[in-house]
Amino acid sequence: MKKSIVSIVFLCIISITSQAQGLYFGVNAGYGLKAGSETIGISTNANGSLSSVKGSLGAGFVSNLYAGYFFNKNIGAEFGIGYLVGENTPPLNIPITGPPPTSRLTKRANSFYINPSIVLRTGEGKIKPYGKMGIFLGLVNKETYNVYVSPSNYKSTYSGGFSTGITAAFGADYMISDKFSLFGELFCRLASWSPTKYSNGNTNGSFVSSMPANNPNSNALSIVSPLSAVGLNIGVKYYMFK
């Protein structure tokens, strides 16, 4: 019985190995729209009324480099590294005493992340549809509040901690040769981040550190910022195999 099990496992390994498709590399760039907005503040309108301003730190440009391996013609794994350059959230007006009558505040975030994924691909011709599911892990994150009070800009910065979440993508490879393909994909990122450090200052000087935002010895409130987005990537892949 044991010999039979070993033989079956051995045959499965040989079968997978014999169908191995091999290594590939890729690069892509894209843009994500906000998904999962947060209220960034209350804005005062010109007529004196108030309105809630919402935004998402996950919206913005993304770029990725990755390497992958197909175990057979349909199943593979990918490991990617990427960088999110967040866009500014909609500005909000905050009344202050004395001239000028208001300040304007916007937020944005940057994140360097890794993204391991499982890839499922089908198709035999030039067009090969695929789907991916993966894990999002932001290793270096930074959230910046930009406050403009004429004639100066002031900044508050949150940093530290890891952002985590899941990713999914659906797209298709278009084989332009045995070695290269162009691809386009729709992606979704569901992620959030809780920073651990806070600092403030102005654009002309050094930041002044304050207590970490999530330190149990601090009175500062914990902050959880969404980094979710939906968008489109386009790129190219190079295959080490035919």
Joined tokens for residue 77: 């794994």
Q: What is the pTM of this model?
A: 0.76
Are 180 and 237 in contact by the 8 Å Cβ rule? The answer is: yes
Q: Which domain holds residue 147?
A: 26-239
pLDDT per residue as tens digits for the range 65-105: 999 999 988 999 999 999 999 988 877 777 665 555 567 77
In a domain? residue 5: no
List, for residues 173-210, the tens digit of each pLDDT value: 999 998 999 999 999 999 988 888 877 755 444 444 44
At 212 the pLDDT is 46
**Structural domains of the chain, count:** 1
Query: Is position 180 within any domain?
Result: yes
Strands (E), the chain: 22-34, 38-44, 50-55, 60-70, 75-86, 92-95, 102-121, 127-149, 152-159, 163-175, 180-193, 197-202, 208-209, 225-226, 229-239
Answer whether residue 181 is part of any domain: yes
The CATH number assigned to the domain holding 123 equals 2.40.160.20
Domain membership flag for residue 2:
no
Is residue 61 within 8 A of residue 88, CB to CB? The reply is no
